[in-house]
Amino acid sequence: MKGFKEFIMRGNLIDTAVAFIMGIAFASVVTSFTNLLLSCIGKVLGGKEPNFNDWAPGGIPVGVFLTALISFLLLALVVYYAIVLPVNKFREITEKDAEETPESDTAILAEIRDHLVSGGSSDAKRSAGSDFPEA
Protein backbone atom coordinates (compact mmCIF):
# COMPACT_ATOMS: atom_id res chain seq x y z
CA MET A 1 0.00 0.00 0.00
CA LYS A 2 2.91 2.35 0.72
CA GLY A 3 4.28 1.93 -2.81
CA PHE A 4 0.87 2.71 -4.30
CA LYS A 5 0.61 5.86 -2.19
CA GLU A 6 4.06 6.99 -3.38
CA PHE A 7 3.07 6.29 -6.98
CA ILE A 8 -0.15 8.32 -6.69
CA MET A 9 1.51 11.23 -4.90
CA ARG A 10 4.41 11.41 -7.35
CA GLY A 11 4.58 14.91 -8.82
CA ASN A 12 4.72 13.98 -12.48
CA LEU A 13 1.58 11.85 -12.18
CA ILE A 14 -0.35 14.77 -10.75
CA ASP A 15 1.03 17.09 -13.44
CA THR A 16 0.05 14.63 -16.14
CA ALA A 17 -3.46 14.30 -14.73
CA VAL A 18 -3.89 18.07 -14.62
CA ALA A 19 -2.59 18.39 -18.19
CA PHE A 20 -4.97 15.67 -19.34
CA ILE A 21 -7.98 17.34 -17.69
CA MET A 22 -7.02 20.74 -19.11
CA GLY A 23 -6.55 19.14 -22.54
CA ILE A 24 -10.04 17.68 -22.44
CA ALA A 25 -11.51 21.01 -21.38
CA PHE A 26 -9.57 22.87 -24.07
CA ALA A 27 -10.58 20.33 -26.73
CA SER A 28 -14.17 21.56 -26.59
CA VAL A 29 -12.98 25.14 -27.13
CA VAL A 30 -10.88 24.13 -30.15
CA THR A 31 -13.68 21.95 -31.55
CA SER A 32 -16.20 24.78 -31.28
CA PHE A 33 -13.75 27.16 -32.94
CA THR A 34 -13.22 24.64 -35.75
CA ASN A 35 -16.99 24.38 -36.19
CA LEU A 36 -17.15 28.17 -36.31
CA LEU A 37 -14.51 28.23 -39.05
CA LEU A 38 -16.36 25.56 -41.02
CA SER A 39 -19.57 27.57 -40.72
CA CYS A 40 -17.80 30.69 -41.98
CA ILE A 41 -16.35 28.74 -44.90
CA GLY A 42 -19.83 27.42 -45.65
CA LYS A 43 -21.29 30.93 -45.66
CA VAL A 44 -18.62 32.11 -48.07
CA LEU A 45 -19.03 29.09 -50.38
CA GLY A 46 -22.78 29.04 -50.63
CA GLY A 47 -24.71 29.06 -47.45
CA LYS A 48 -24.22 25.67 -45.82
CA GLU A 49 -21.43 24.11 -43.84
CA PRO A 50 -19.17 21.86 -45.91
CA ASN A 51 -19.98 18.24 -45.16
CA PHE A 52 -18.59 15.46 -47.27
CA ASN A 53 -20.13 12.62 -45.24
CA ASP A 54 -22.50 11.53 -48.02
CA TRP A 55 -19.86 11.53 -50.76
CA ALA A 56 -19.11 7.96 -51.85
CA PRO A 57 -17.50 7.73 -55.29
CA GLY A 58 -17.87 4.22 -56.64
CA GLY A 59 -19.73 3.18 -53.51
CA ILE A 60 -16.69 3.74 -51.26
CA PRO A 61 -17.66 6.03 -48.35
CA VAL A 62 -14.63 8.34 -48.33
CA GLY A 63 -16.70 11.39 -47.43
CA VAL A 64 -16.63 10.69 -43.69
CA PHE A 65 -12.86 10.45 -43.86
CA LEU A 66 -12.58 13.73 -45.80
CA THR A 67 -14.78 15.55 -43.29
CA ALA A 68 -12.68 14.20 -40.41
CA LEU A 69 -9.45 15.08 -42.23
CA ILE A 70 -10.52 18.66 -42.92
CA SER A 71 -11.69 19.07 -39.32
CA PHE A 72 -8.35 17.71 -38.09
CA LEU A 73 -6.36 20.07 -40.30
CA LEU A 74 -8.40 23.05 -39.15
CA LEU A 75 -7.96 21.96 -35.54
CA ALA A 76 -4.21 21.61 -36.07
CA LEU A 77 -4.08 25.11 -37.58
CA VAL A 78 -5.94 26.56 -34.62
CA VAL A 79 -3.67 24.81 -32.11
CA TYR A 80 -0.52 25.84 -33.98
CA TYR A 81 -1.38 29.52 -34.44
CA ALA A 82 -3.19 30.00 -31.12
CA ILE A 83 -0.88 28.00 -28.84
CA VAL A 84 2.36 26.69 -30.31
CA LEU A 85 3.49 29.81 -32.17
CA PRO A 86 2.86 32.26 -29.28
CA VAL A 87 4.52 29.92 -26.75
CA ASN A 88 7.58 29.54 -28.99
CA LYS A 89 7.82 33.33 -29.39
CA PHE A 90 7.52 33.74 -25.62
CA ARG A 91 10.29 31.17 -25.07
CA GLU A 92 12.54 32.99 -27.56
CA ILE A 93 12.02 36.26 -25.71
CA THR A 94 12.69 34.75 -22.29
CA GLU A 95 15.77 32.90 -23.55
CA LYS A 96 17.16 36.15 -25.00
CA ASP A 97 16.57 37.86 -21.65
CA ALA A 98 18.35 35.02 -19.88
CA GLU A 99 21.33 35.28 -22.26
CA GLU A 100 21.57 39.04 -21.76
CA THR A 101 21.73 38.80 -17.99
CA PRO A 102 25.06 39.52 -16.39
CA GLU A 103 27.44 36.73 -15.64
CA SER A 104 26.05 33.65 -14.01
CA ASP A 105 26.96 32.58 -10.51
CA THR A 106 29.23 29.91 -11.93
CA ALA A 107 31.19 32.45 -14.00
CA ILE A 108 31.58 34.77 -11.02
CA LEU A 109 32.77 31.91 -8.83
CA ALA A 110 35.23 30.86 -11.56
CA GLU A 111 36.63 34.42 -11.62
CA ILE A 112 37.04 34.40 -7.84
CA ARG A 113 38.75 31.00 -8.02
CA ASP A 114 41.10 32.21 -10.76
CA HIS A 115 41.88 35.32 -8.76
CA LEU A 116 42.67 33.27 -5.66
CA VAL A 117 44.79 30.81 -7.66
CA SER A 118 46.81 33.63 -9.23
CA GLY A 119 47.84 34.75 -5.76
CA GLY A 120 45.70 37.85 -5.72
CA SER A 121 48.60 40.25 -5.06
CA SER A 122 47.47 43.77 -4.37
CA ASP A 123 49.61 45.13 -7.25
CA ALA A 124 47.85 42.79 -9.67
CA LYS A 125 44.49 43.87 -8.31
CA ARG A 126 45.24 47.54 -8.71
CA SER A 127 46.70 47.18 -12.18
CA ALA A 128 43.83 45.01 -13.39
CA GLY A 129 41.29 47.43 -11.98
CA SER A 130 39.69 44.63 -9.99
CA ASP A 131 36.87 45.35 -7.59
CA PHE A 132 38.09 42.80 -5.07
CA PRO A 133 38.82 44.34 -1.68
CA GLU A 134 42.29 43.94 -0.33
CA ALA A 135 42.69 41.36 2.39
In the chain, which ranges are continuous DSSP H helix? 2-9, 11-45, 63-79, 85-100, 105-117, 122-128
Distance CA 47, CA 40 (A): 9
3-state secondary structure of 80: helix
Q: What is the pTM of this model?
A: 0.47
Tens-level pLDDT at each residue, the chain (135 residues): 888 777 777 767 777 888 888 888 888 887 788 778 778 877 887 777 667 788 888 888 888 888 888 878 887 887 888 888 998 999 888 887 666 655 677 888 888 898 899 886 555 444 455 555 554
Round to whole Å and give the CA distance between 71 and 79: 12
* Measured CA distances, 41 to 13, 34, 56, 72, 111 (Å): 41, 11, 22, 15, 63
